[in-house]
């Protein structure tokens, strides 16, 4: 999984980006740079409707590509999903989304890569296997290691259902205790299912398992958003 993961520094109109040399090696959570709204089609700020002139300059949001005045597009925020090296100019709405995603890249992505231990049940089997589950360093595979070994392409995952306990009708805290994952087998239309259950063994860290599941839930949301754009 590491042979084709080399990266290169490229300059785009939006800034410097560190991208994989081969497009096939790109992160499944990544987003393509948007096309910019042409200057000639944007005489006014697309947020506050201020008219552009030689004093009021226009700026493009690096995330959505729309055209804004400086006041409406002044924030420079990290945008790791587009592989930017430095924070880039974004409109207020996009900046808010990117700021929330930064937490995933700074914290939850590391949790996924470090891994956690679960009992894994394949399909309708009544047997489970204790396995360490983690996200590969290139973010493209879910790796499961025990007596058996599995590598599931993240792009082939179709659904993720997080299993919880502790919910009460009147409200209350819930705790993630497992998940059901469905994915397509490459080269076929067959859909496989795996069930992950946090171990009750005192030697396994249930808090770590819950954190890993929460991070996986966030990762799934980003994955679906990437597919829609």
pTM of the model: 0.79
In sequence order, the 6+-apart residues with CB closer than 8 A to the CB of 86 are: 15, 16, 76
Residues 6+ apart with CB under 8 A from 219: 29, 104, 108, 109, 112, 135, 154
Q: What is the pLDDT along the chain (229 residues), one digit of tens a residue?
A: 444 568 889 898 888 998 888 777 788 888 889 999 999 999 999 999 999 998 999 999 999 999 999 999 999 999 999 999 999 999 999 999 999 898 899 999 999 999 999 999 998 888 999 999 999 988 999 999 999 999 999 989 989 998 888 755 555 567 788 999 999 988 888 899 999 998 766 555 778 888 999 999 889 888 877 665 5
CA 208 from chain center: how many Å?
19
- 126 CB-near residues (< 8 Å, 6+ apart): none
C-alpha 188, offset from chain centre: 25
- Whats the size of the chain, residue-wise? 229
The rounded distance, in Å, linking the Cα atoms of 19 and 17 is 6
């Amino acid at each position: 999984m590491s042979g084709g993961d080399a990266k290169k520094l490229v300059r785009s109109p939006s800034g410097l980006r560190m991208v994989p040399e081969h497009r096939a090696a790109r992160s499944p959570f990544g987003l393509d740079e948007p096309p910019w709204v042409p200057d000639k089609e944007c005489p006014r700020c697309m947020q506050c409707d201020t008219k552009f002139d030689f004093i009021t300059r226009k700026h493009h949001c690096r995330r959505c590509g729309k055209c804004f005045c400086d006041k409406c597009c002044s924030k420079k925020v990290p945008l790791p999903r587009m592989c930017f090296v430095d924070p880039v100019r974004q409109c207020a709405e996009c900046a808010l989304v990117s700021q929330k995603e930064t937490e995933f890249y700074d914290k939850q992505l590391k949790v996924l890569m470090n891994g956690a231990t679960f009992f894994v049940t394949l399909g309708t089997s009544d047997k489970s296997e204790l396995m360490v589950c983690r996200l590969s360093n290139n973010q493209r595979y879910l790796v499961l290691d025990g007596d058996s070994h599995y590598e599931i392409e993240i792009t082939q995952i179709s659904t993720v259902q997080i299993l919880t306990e502790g919910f009460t009708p009147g409200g209350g805290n819930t705790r993630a205790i497992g998940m059901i994952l469905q994915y397509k087998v490459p080269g076929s239309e067959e859909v496989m299912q795996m069930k992950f259950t946090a171990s009750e063994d005192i030697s396994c860290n249930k808090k770590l398992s819950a954190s890993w599941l929460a991070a996986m839930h966030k990762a799934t949301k980003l994955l679906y958003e990437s597919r829609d754009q």
